[in-house]
Amino acid sequence: MAQGAKKETLWKLFFSMLYISAFTFGGGFVIITFMKRKFVDELGWIDEQEMLDLTALAQSSPGAIAVNAAILVGWRVGGFLGMVTAVIGTVLPPITILSVISLFYAAFAANPYVALVLKGMQAGVAAVILDVVWGLGANVVKTKSPIHLVVMAAAFIATFVYGVNVIYIILAAGLLGVVLAMVQRQKGGQAQ
């Protein structure tokens, strides 16, 4: 790629991510939909199947889905520089917005009317989170996998009742997945 064309691609990548990140409310899955629209449908930089694979990778890796997706698309479009460009474009809007909000937060939170609104909104947030949990939990129940149901129940009791460190719970569940994969592989080997 010529030097000028590459530079132009990087700028386009940067402003695309900046725009998508600044105007996407509602979490990682929403931002991925916007990225697909931009990079697959509009710019044609990535084909649809590949974008689906990148989505799965972004979801299954640790960290924020939006940042992960930016890293993947960045590498794909512009190599290392593309990755750095995409990530900066993605984190710049939230850093700016939250910096401004946190500067005013103390004054904001001390205002009795604002406090009333925030307090009411907390009830809404609890509902939003538990609504998401309801949907996710139903999906786990639908798999009808006893192991997964036990994992879900055990993890809940461990964290909510006993206050076990979240990181241990995630490590334990991940380890279980490795063991299950190995058992599966052994079974498959015997069957052949």
Partner 1 sequence: MIYLQLFWSFLQIGLFSIGGGYAAMPLIQAQTVQLHGWLSMSEFTDLVTIAEMTPGPIAVNSATFVGIRIAGLPGALIATFGCILPSLFLVSLLAFIYYRYKNLSILQSVLASLRPAVVALIASAGLSILLQVAFGGAQISLVSANWVGLVLFAAAFAALRALKWNPILVMVLCGVGNLLVGLVL
Contact yes or no for 118/109 (Cβ under 8 A):
yes
**Which residues 149-188 are close enough to bind partner 1 by CB under 8 A?**
149, 151-156, 159-160, 165-167, 169-170, 172-174, 176-178, 180-181, 184
CB of 44 to partner 1, least distance (A): 19
Tokens 């991940």 sit on residue: 174
Amino acid at residue number 181:
A
Contact yes or no for 32/69 (Cβ under 8 A):
yes
CB of 7 to partner 1, least distance (A): 22
Binding mask 80-109 for partner 1 (x = CB under 8 A): ---x---x---x-xxx-xxx-xxx-x---x
Residue 66 interacts with partner 1 (CB under 8 A)? yes
Residue 44 interacts with partner 1 (CB under 8 A)? no
Residue 54's contacts (CB-CB under 8 Å, 6 or more residues apart) are: 46, 69, 72, 73, 76
The whole-angstrom separation of Cα 172 and Cα 175 is 5
Binding mask 115-134 for partner 1 (x = CB under 8 A): -xxxxxxxxxxxxxxxxxxx
